[in-house]
Structure 1
């Protein structure tokens, strides 16, 4: 357990202005420590590669939220206080590791037809905690115990919460065809004509990077644009980009994005998440090596993908979110270094989890919310993130800024940014977050 304990303590220190080694804290060893954290017998699951029985998990209230202690089956008070000691009666360290590492995905063999772990089979779904960053609540328990035991105030390293803005660029040249067909089926013949004329006499309606940058400029925001290095369909008939990343048009767009202060990253092609060499080929199509990005179709394998990223010296990833549901896939509102469960040690790849995706809200096979419901659901996640000065990530594809097929979705994006600003969020791209907060770790 030593690597796992160090991993969790280090993660705690990345977000709180404190060194835990300066305080008398023991996890499962020194029962006389000033702060003693109980170690559950269930930590043995990490040795024998088993999972927990979710039907037996204990829930308790903390910060007015009912949260699960995923490695505890026996009820108790959260704290026991005496003159000389504060005892935390639940295994918040082992539980934090379970959720942060994606242990349930590592153990589970259940995937969809693309080999992805699904929300339906996740512990977040089983316990109905997808909208709660449970790990942050565990950390707040530890923070509170230290503050009580030593009569101190522990501050967050981040001065305010952050909303990371990202855009996956799957298609930017086929609005005239895809959106045109959609409008044709609706009987909007004038719109179809307009789309075709725009494509061939000016630019395709989805080639709208300047429009996105202008919207974000109004909010003082910077975002991340993730470009797909491979064009066309795969052998399995899955679509990659509708553009050539090396074309002069795309190269100029990428340059304009960078000049604006926004980031260009990699949206690596279908199935490259399993191949060190194929991912490397995608990287080589960029003039300047990206700091990080996100895999196409949110493809990710625990533990294979982290090795692909490490071997290619990628600094961060932002793939870990569920297509089917917005929320906290690894139950945290903090970025974290991916734990390599195969090698039993932390990787050097920072995960900035994906929390909210436009497609999740739009498509019938996912949540398909009414437009009037979206801001309320997003605000719930913003409010959870505020509690911990955390970091939330939003993905809005460039085609969702178009008034054809996706009419109204540009305004939803603007409303989200307005709401985040009103709640005192910084609006930044992931590169800024990595360089300012994590480069020194």
Structure 2
């Protein structure tokens, strides 16, 4: 329906609720007070980062140089890889950049290093090995589990949860997001409910920005089998960096990104919702001129100019609870 009628960037459910709100106010003669976020802000922003890669910035330019027969350039890339930190090993930079806007980062780490059964890659790092440096880099930032491909079942997910819990000295991750936004409606919410995560932030589109559930606020998904809501809060994903300039997705020019997103932001602000942004750490690399640090800065400047409340997942759960 969203595709057929072209309303993926319009939170239709919020418009219906607004009609209901007006009717209730008319009947009762009492105004319904809108929700307020931190410091009295009318809407909120949830800034997140999926940590898929830490050591692969050199690979694409090295492969390109090798294919084109530029052996000297290939040798330089290889030497740089062997002797200097990778450009994507930048978690401290990510945390500091986001903090400079008065915002908070939530980092979703991939516990699985091995590729999925179909060969699709998971993390390019082993979490247990990199964790001491990663933990120091992100400080007190919120963490979540970025569930690997090939992990739709309870046992596998439970194992990934235990890995991260062990590294954090028993501190449970509040939230979860599935790698590649994989979501099986008949299975995934049941698994999440049994694991007692406070929130999930998977439900968004890779192909387009907007509202996968036509709603701009967090909500408790409904369990049609049990006839009641699930216990975890869904914080929908509104925009992912890869969506904006990827060969399979929108291919927006850098100067087109903020104007394209502004109408969606205005809809979220209108209804006092939460704007969830996913910007991978690899796209804080200055070499990315399409969905890189400059485009992220434009988005953050806009959000800050609109007096948004920057919140993390735990704070959203407390506000919605």
TM-score, length-scaled by structure 1:
0.67
Stretches of structure 2 lacking an aligned partner (at least 5 in a row): none
Q: Distance in 2 between matches of 1:412 and 1:423?
A: 17
Partner of 1:437: 319
Query: What secondary structure, in the 3-state scheme, does the structure 2 residue paired with 1:419 have?
Result: helix
CA 166–186 in structure 1, closer or farther in 2 if over 3 Å, else same? farther
Residue 185 (structure 1) shift:
6.4
Q: Distance in 2 between matches of 1:182 and 1:407?
A: 18
Residue 177 (structure 1) shift:
1.5
CA 208–156 in structure 1, closer or farther in 2 if over 3 Å, else same? same
Residue 426 (structure 1) shift:
1.7
Pick aligned residue for 2:286 from 384, 403, 418: 403
Pick aligned residue for 1:226 from 96, 99, 108: 108
Q: Distance in 1 between matches of 2:220 and 2:179?
A: 21
Q: Distance in 2 between matches of 1:280 and 1:406?
A: 38
Partner of 1:422: 305
CA 162–179 in structure 1, closer or farther in 2 if over 3 Å, else same? farther
Partner of 2:262: 379
Q: Bigger radius of gyration, 1 or 2? A: 1
Q: Distance in 2 between matches of 1:423 and 1:191?
A: 45
- 1:282 lines up with 2:152 in the alignment: no
Partner of 2:18: 140
- Which protein has greater RCO, CA pairs closer than 8 Å, 6+ apart? 2
Contact 2:207 2:243 in 1 (8 A): yes
CA 238–133 in structure 1, closer or farther in 2 if over 3 Å, else same? same
Pick aligned residue for 2:177 from 277, 287, 294: 294
TM-score, length-scaled by structure 2:
0.90
Partner of 2:83: 201
Query: What secondary structure, in the 3-state scheme, does the structure 1 residue paired with 2:108 have?
Result: strand
How many pairs align? Answer: 312
Residue 220 (structure 1) shift:
0.7
The residue correspondences of 1:263-274 to structure 2 (distance < 5 A) are 263-272=142-151, 274=152
CA 429–132 in structure 1, closer or farther in 2 if over 3 Å, else same? same
- 1:217 lines up with 2:96 in the alignment: no
Contact 2:117 2:150 in 1 (8 A): no
Pick which of 203-212 and 141-150 moved more: 141-150
CA 322–187 in structure 1, closer or farther in 2 if over 3 Å, else same? farther
Q: Distance in 2 between matches of 1:421 and 1:190?
A: 45
Partner of 2:187: 304
Contact 1:175 1:195 in 2 (8 A): no
Residue 218 (structure 1) shift:
1.4
Q: Distance in 1 between matches of 2:71 and 2:289?
A: 17
Per-residue Cα deviation, 1:91-124 (whole angstroms, up to 9, x for no partner): xxxxxxxxxxxxxxxxxxxxxxxxxxxxxxxx21
Per-residue Cα deviation, 1:230-282 (whole angstroms, up to 9, x for no partner): 103122111111000100x333213431x2x421110011032x301110011
Q: Distance in 1 between matches of 2:70 and 2:265?
A: 37
Contact 2:109 2:146 in 1 (8 A): yes
Q: Distance in 1 between matches of 2:258 and 2:70?
A: 29
CA 418–404 in structure 1, closer or farther in 2 if over 3 Å, else same? same
Stretches of structure 1 lacking an aligned partner (at least 5 in a row): 1-122
Residue 356 (structure 1) shift:
0.1
